[in-house]
Homo-oligomer: A and B are copies of this chain.
Amino acid sequence: MGRKRLQESVDGRPTVHTVAARAGVSIASASRVLNGVGGSPETIRKVRAAAAEVGYVPNAIARSLQSQRTGQIALAVEDIGNPVYVAMMRAIEAVVASSGRQLLVHATGGQIANETALLRRLAHRYVDGLILSPIRITEEHLVALADSPVPVVVIGQLPPDTPVDNVRTDSQAGVALAVDHLVAAGRRRIGFVNGPLDTVPGAARDAGFRAALARHGIELDERLLEVGDFQYAAGRAATKRLLARARPDALVCANDLIAVGALHALLVAGHRVPGDVALVGMDDTELASMVLPSMSSVSLDATERGRIAAQLLLERIDDSSLPPRRITIAPHLVVRDSSPTPDGRAKQWA
């Protein structure tokens, strides 16, 4: 009994001690064999046999404590229901899994308190690194990022010279792509349904929209601007408000969820899309091709951003002396049926 206590873990499962005793070798030898480093043929045989007989599985926690690695990566996004984050998550999970690690998912709800709390919790070292995609960036974030005890990669805009690995996209240029496309098709009364202006993407897209109109010499009509959350329901409501006071001939939306809401509002109000009002979303999520008419959308390549972010993180975990890197992904426009084709014609059935 006393002897057994020394060999089995507290819940009766075999430990390296069990295996070693059964094979008649020391735990050091057993451990070496089990990790495939060293051991004479005879020892290897005995240890492997013993391990198989008792069904030994190493304890990940104990291993982590010793190796100072958890084999876990955390991902924190605002809303795991947004298809753009789903795409990102899929890409990240693929990279993470292929490196033999696991992915932890946190939903922050966009709350700053949640995010900084999460950053602080990293000090517990339950994870080897974090991929964070914040929707707002505060001074608190920057401080917390600066003395984060584990590597963090941020997906999204960060102030210049923040010494943090960073994957971003130029959503300002993305909005410009949408506007250019619509102007080229002869639309002039272009509306914009945005997310909250106090978010980083919201502010960038607002600036992008204004700049693009200015570049085309179109005067901005403030009645064509609306703001809501980055959600379907908010997009639908915002569009309804906008339509109640103005007559756009095109609508740009700050993401696809908003755009689907806008599409719904437009069709319910009896507008033809793209005949009366052309529509361009943003993020190019799966949603864009699910709806009818299928939606043009500016792709910010969430999959690619996720993949790169994961790779950057793994690289930094392996070598913390790397200089901070900043990767920018260029947006591109995917034209579908909700906006006029390049030759200016709308599909006949719409």
Residue A311 at the chain B interface, CB threshold 8 Å:
no
A10: chain B residues at CB < 8 Å are: 68
As for how many copies of this chain the complex holds, the number is 2
Contact A123 B57 (CB under 8 A): yes
Interface of chain A residues 202 through 235 with chain B (CB within 8 A): 232
Taking the nearest CB of chain B, how far is it from the CB of A64, in angstroms?
Answer: 5
In the complex the two chains form, is B81's CB within 8 Å of A86's CB? yes
A91 to B105, CA, bound (A): 14
CA gap between A301 and B87 in the complex, in Å: 24
Instruction: Pick the interface stretch among A27-35, A170-178, A286-294.
Output: A286-294
Verify if A89 is at the interface (C-beta below 8 Å from B): yes
Interface: A59 (CB within 8 A): yes
Size of interface on A: residues with Cβ below 8 Å to B: 47
Cβ–Cβ contact A90 & B81, under 8 A = yes
| A143 CB-CB contact with B under 8 Å | no
Complex: chain B residue closest to A64, CB-CB? B61
A70 to B71 alpha-carbon distance, docked (Å):
14
CA distance A2 to B217 in the complex (A): 71
Task: Name the contact of A292 in the complex, choosing from B60, B287, B292 (C-beta under 8 A).
Answer: B292
Contacts of A107 in B (CB 8 A): 90, 93
| Partner pick for A104 among B64, B105, B260, B267, CB 8 A cutoff | B105
Using a CB-CB cutoff of 8 Å, which residues 60-104 of chain A contact chain B?
Answer: 60-62, 64-65, 68, 70-72, 80-81, 83, 86-87, 89-90, 93, 102-104
A-B contacts, 8 of them at CB < 8 A, read: A10-B68, A59-B65, A61-B61, A81-B83, A81-B86, A102-B106, A268-B292, A290-B291
